């Protein structure tokens, strides 16, 4: 069943979204050549505790970590690992879900470790643009297929990348994963109609090569590209409104001004950003 959220519920999700976005802001100060991917997990756990946020991925279907940290050809669901040392030119994706006072938020962001190659920078740019192209389709009256259709056309037809099929976006709140499923491929005019008050994630995963994933890892979690190409992902949680899509996990309310639900978000983000910066200082050396 798809639930439509009230203004009170959306405000609570804004707060959770700001808490999550601030984690990503803190990671910008931490991710650099020479750190292990486990440092990302350590920072996230300490920050969430200080911010009063709950790491909802811990214990989800047996998953043990607050974050998913996926590097280079890893599409998603990579474990944070003490022996995985990030090096210059790597592409790392950090995905997590948090709740604050029972309100959920989900966001993934991609980070260049030092300076990446022009090829990988283009992959990052195209993936991020495809995220916002998909978000722009999230208006009442459109259908789920409209989101995936624009992402697929831009990433595959125009840029020759692979648009992952195995993993999709989803509804969110009152739990981590709700209906509807939100594919990042598809056809215009197909699927359920979008309605005011729906909260969903849009999270394209785009590969330099084939769209196909290798899910044979013994962990049962980690997914890699089938051909060894690199993969990129960006994800926002958003609410569909009669005034257009409103992002609930923005890291930059000024740049995303057209996507802001109200003025509360910027206030929440500033509060959590200060907490994230204090925690990040413990990891900067």
Say if residue 184 carries a ligand binding annotation.
no
pLDDT band at 220 (very low <50, low <70, confident <90, very high): very high
Q: Residue 285 pLDDT > 80, yes or no?
A: no
Facing residues of 107 across strands? Answer: 96
Say if residue 106 carries a ligand binding annotation.
yes
Report the C-alpha gap between 267 and 56 in whole angstroms: 24
Q: 104, 175 in Cβ contact below 8 A?
A: yes
Write down the pTM of the prediction.
0.97
Helices 264-280 and 7-27 sit at what angle, rounded to 10 degrees?
Answer: 30
What are 187-208's pLDDT values in tens digits? 999 999 999 999 999 999 999 9
Residues near 158 by beta carbon (within 8 Å), at least 6 away in sequence: none
- H or E segment to which residue 280 belongs: helix 264-280
DSSP label of 30: T
Q: Locate the domains of the chain by residue range.
A: 7-283
Say if residue 177 carries a ligand binding annotation.
yes
Report the C-alpha gap between 155 and 206 in whole angstroms: 7
pLDDT of residue 31: 97
What are 132-168's pLDDT values in tens digits? 999 999 999 999 999 999 999 999 999 999 999 999 9
What does CATH list as the number for 7-283?
A: 3.90.230.10
Give the mean pLDDT of 89-104: 98
Give the mean pLDDT of 28-56: 97
Report the C-alpha gap between 183 and 199 in whole angstroms: 15
pLDDT of residue 1: 85
For the beta sheet containing 74-76, the strands, ordered from the edge strand earlier in sequence to the opposite edge, are: 74-76, 223-225, 213-214
Say if residue 214 carries a ligand binding annotation.
no
Q: Residue 267 pLDDT > 70, yes or no?
A: yes
What are 160-185's pLDDT values in tens digits? 999 999 999 999 999 999 999 999 99
Say if residue 77 carries a ligand binding annotation.
yes
């Amino acid at each position: 069943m798809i639930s439509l959220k009230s203004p009170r519920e959306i405000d609570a999700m804004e707060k959770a979204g700001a808490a999550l976005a601030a984690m990503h802001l803190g990671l910008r100060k931490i991710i650099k050549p020479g750190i292990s991917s486990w440092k990302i997990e350590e920072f996230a756990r300490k920050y969430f505790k200080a911010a009063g946020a709950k790491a909802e991925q811990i214990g989800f279907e047996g998953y043990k970590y607050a974050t998913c940290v996926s590097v280079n050809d890893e599409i998603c669901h990579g474990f944070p690992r003490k022996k995985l040392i990030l090096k210059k030119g790597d592409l790392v994706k950090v995905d997590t879900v948090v709740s604050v006072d029972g309100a959920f938020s989900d966001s993934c962001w991609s980070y260049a470790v030092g300076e990446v190659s022009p090829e990988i920078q283009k992959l990052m740019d195209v993936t991020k643009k495809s995220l916002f192209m998909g978000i722009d389709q999230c208006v009442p009256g459109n259908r789920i297929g409209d989101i995936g259709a624009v992402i697929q056309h831009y990433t595959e037809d125009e840029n020759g990348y692979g648009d992952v099929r195995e993993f999709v976006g989803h509804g969110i709140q009152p739990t981590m994963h709700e209906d509807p499923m939100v594919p990042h491929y598809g056809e215009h005019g197909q699927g359920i109609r979008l309605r005011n008050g729906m909260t969903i994630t849009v999270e394209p995963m785009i590969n330099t090569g084939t769209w196909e994933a290798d899910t044979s890892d013994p962990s049962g979690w980690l997914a890699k590209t089938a051909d060894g190409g690199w993969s990129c992902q960006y994800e926002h949680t958003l609410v569909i409104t009669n005034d257009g899509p409103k992002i609930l996990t923005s890291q930059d309310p000024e740049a995303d001004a057209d996507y802001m639900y109200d003025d509360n978000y910027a206030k929440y983000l500033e509060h959590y950003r200060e907490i994230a910066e204090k925690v990040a200082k413990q990891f900067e050396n």
